[in-house]
Structure 1
Amino acid sequence: MKKILFSLVIFLILMPVFVFGENRLDVKIGKSFEAGKEVKLSTKGQFKVVSGDFDEINKVDSQNITVIYKDGKIYISSKNFTMENFPSDGSLLISANKDIKVDNFKISYDGGISFRINDNKLDLINNIDLENYLRGILPKEMSPSFPDEALKAQAVASRSFALANINKYIKKGYNLNDTTACQVYKGKTSYDKKTDAAVKATEGEFLTYDGKICDAIFGASSGGYIADSSEVWGGNKSPYLISKEDPYSSYAWDFLLTSKELNKLKLGNIYTIDISEKDSSGRCKKIVITGQNGVKEMTGNEFRNAMGNMSVKSSLFEIINLGDSFQIKGRGFGHGVGLSQYGAVEMAKQKFDYKGILDFYYPGTTIENKDLGNEDK
């Protein structure tokens, strides 16, 4: 059995620590792996080791690769190939002529796979073309069954968000991750022909305001009133993420707070829960809870997180004291800032095109188009 060994010296002449073309992203995928934990990669094609520019360095001549981080080094191996001290700076990647499946996640990816070490753990990084990244996002952020114009609006918003937040995790050696902290991304496994069409129809389009790429934040439903980003998260006021009435998104919900939820507040028996301050969109800004063991003041978001944000679906709510419990009647789903996905659907049903939808939810913005290419065909 032939074994191929590369020394670290070879890596030093290849590429800078962090290089990607303007049309590519480095996205952390899945969980981080503890030292000693094996990662299994497979493909229906053939693996190869490539440079950051995807120039072939070495054929692996295998459909399976094992990756492991131990003793401060990254090792990759297959039946006929071993590589010791694989770089952790993105200068080399694992690629294939077919998509790559990370067996640990049961998800397949276009592009290439590289690695980073953070907090003494192995991070898997998918180097992916921006447009194909969006193809892996859209079906997870918006149902493919939604109207075409709503899907197009989401595609432009998602592309804008990605570009605006491209350096979010640069200190960790990558751009974005695949969670709701950025956008939910599940690689080629999630591609769908309807959402693919929305990405293609808007290829290269993104939002700007005053010449700068917009941080096009979005959520499920505004509940009838869009929230101001500065009131939700603090910071400077954004001219296009403002509070205003939204007649297209009217999601309503209610939830009963029983002793199970109220015990999380650690105040003993709860006597009153009062909303003491609201923001300009009517969302709860401050809540005062009086209980057997004292008084606690919380923001609406803190209260929502404490009670469970899938139960208390937004901070746009009223509280009714029922004596032995409290009923919450609310509207909206999520933070309420920017584009409302349910609202986009309703606007599309009312014959608004995607440009009209974006203009309503991001007032004063401009759609620009730049050909960023699509290399992972």
Structure 2
Amino acid sequence: MRIVQIPFCFFLLLLFLLIASSAVVAENEKTIRILIGNFYKEFSVSGIGLKVISIEGGKKSSYLFKQNILIINRAKQGLKINKNYVRGNQFIVSSTAGELAINGIAYGGTIALIPKGEQEIQLINEIMLEHYLEGLISLELSPQWDITTMKVQAVVARTYALYQRTINSGNSHHMTSSVLHQLYQGIAHATGTTRRAVKETRGEILTWNGQPIMAVYHSCCGGKTESAVNVWGEDKPYLRGVFCGMCTAYDKYFWKLIIPRGTFYNKLREAGCGNGSGIESVLDIKRTSTKR
């Protein structure tokens, strides 16, 4: 067992590193499902040797396309793919090259298309965990940072992804591609350095009681991190608030939020607190140990 010293401000207090074991390496060989987004207009899927599998009521049908570009729209009972109407509740798009592009943005693995409502199509990228990590590191960190920092990011991002995959195993996707989870914009952002960071930390995750921790992190904490119990209502011994002096130069270290009077009154009414008339001042009656 090794202890990793994080050189920048992660939202972590205790870091327990599990060295590569057969169990962890096996986890790395699995895929992860990332919600790319919800599309309401036509979009393109491009690749070499495109194949679409439609799924309806447990029955699967395969369609091979000679074209390297598919124009996809929502259609009644399924999708319109180029000029073809294809029935199904879910569609899996793959290519013989193992790489696809959605509106020109490259993704590894496969893309699931799930029709929602009358116009919406939900896109989910299923990709090998390690390839996913290679593409996100340079978005979560400056590409100019050193390899040691990127290796730390790889360990934390891998841990977070495995945690989310565990708690969302029964859902259509494990994470989104935004900062709500981890920023991911396909495989084009993978570099030689990010691939090296992922390869040299293969099988390494942060654990608590033998399980991947909820390894949340952020770009700026405002000088103090918050304890998990005050954010999610659940105490996690490895997520306790600490002081941090690493982000004082960040342009969002100080911030303010202006709430229009009408919006404020509406929120009061929604909370059952009258219509807001007659309010002279607003006081905070409770703060956490970090003064939030």
Question: When the two structures are superposed, what TM-score results if normalisation uses the length of structure 1?
Answer: 0.57
Question: Is 1:23 aligned to residue 30 of structure 2?
Answer: yes
| 1:142-181 → structure 2 map (5 Å cutoff) | 142-166=141-165, 172-181=171-180
For structure 1, the residue ranges without an aligned partner over 5 or more in a row are: 1-19, 285-377
- Max Rg structure: 1
Superposition deviation, residue 197 in structure 1: 2.2
Question: Is 1:84 aligned to residue 86 of structure 2?
Answer: yes
8 Å contact 1:48–1:58 — kept in the other structure? yes
| 1:195-274 → structure 2 map (5 Å cutoff) | 195-234=194-233, 236-251=234-249, 253-255=253-255, 261=259, 263=261, 265-266=264-265, 274=283
Specify the SS of the correspondent of 2:188. helix
Inter-partner Cα distance in structure 1 for 2:182 and 2:229: 21
Question: Is 1:65 aligned to residue 70 of structure 2?
Answer: yes
Partner of 2:130: 131
Partner of 1:33: 39
Inter-partner Cα distance in structure 2 for 1:200 and 1:51: 35
Partner of 1:93: 93
8 Å contact 2:28–2:129 — kept in the other structure? no
Change over 3 Å in CA distance of 1:271–1:196 after alignment to 2: farther
Task: After superposition, give the CA deviation of every residue in 1:304-351 in whole Å (9 maximum; x if it has no partner).
Answer: xxxxxxxxxxxxxxxxxxxxxxxxxxxxxxxxxxxxxxxxxxxxxxxx
Change over 3 Å in CA distance of 1:95–1:86 after alignment to 2: farther
Change over 3 Å in CA distance of 1:171–1:156 after alignment to 2: same
| 1:314-329 → structure 2 map (5 Å cutoff) | none
Task: After superposition, give the CA deviation of every residue in 1:338-365 in whole Å (9 maximum; x if it has no partner).
Answer: xxxxxxxxxxxxxxxxxxxxxxxxxxxx
Cα RMSD of the aligned pairs, angstroms, is 3.2
8 Å contact 2:54–2:86 — kept in the other structure? no
Change over 3 Å in CA distance of 1:96–1:125 after alignment to 2: farther
Change over 3 Å in CA distance of 1:275–1:141 after alignment to 2: same
Inter-partner Cα distance in structure 1 for 2:284 and 2:242: 21
Change over 3 Å in CA distance of 1:87–1:49 after alignment to 2: same
Q: Which amino acid aligns with 2:31?
A: R
Task: After superposition, give the CA deviation of every residue in 1:121-162 in whole Å (9 maximum; x if it has no partner).
Answer: 311121100011112221221111123222211111111111
8 Å contact 1:95–1:113 — kept in the other structure? no
Q: Which amino acid aligns with 2:76?
A: D
Change over 3 Å in CA distance of 1:83–1:205 after alignment to 2: farther
Superposition deviation, residue 49 in structure 1: 4.3
Aligned length, in residue pairs: 246
Inter-partner Cα distance in structure 1 for 2:74 and 2:264: 42
Partner of 1:46: 49
8 Å contact 2:54–2:87 — kept in the other structure? no
Superposition deviation, residue 21 in structure 1: 9.6
Superposition deviation, residue 67 in structure 1: 2.3
Superposition deviation, residue 170 in structure 1: 5.1
Change over 3 Å in CA distance of 1:77–1:128 after alignment to 2: same
Inter-partner Cα distance in structure 1 for 2:39 and 2:180: 19
For structure 2, the residue ranges without an aligned partner over 5 or more in a row are: 1-26, 56-61, 266-275
Change over 3 Å in CA distance of 1:47–1:141 after alignment to 2: same
Change over 3 Å in CA distance of 1:146–1:271 after alignment to 2: farther
Higher RCO structure, 1 or 2 (CA under 8 Å, sep 6+)? 2
Higher strand share: 1
Inter-partner Cα distance in structure 2 for 1:198 and 1:172: 29
Change over 3 Å in CA distance of 1:164–1:98 after alignment to 2: closer
Change over 3 Å in CA distance of 1:158–1:255 after alignment to 2: closer
Task: After superposition, give the CA deviation of every residue in 1:240-277 in whole Å (9 maximum; x if it has no partner).
Answer: 001223354444644577xx655454579996565543
8 Å contact 2:30–2:128 — kept in the other structure? yes
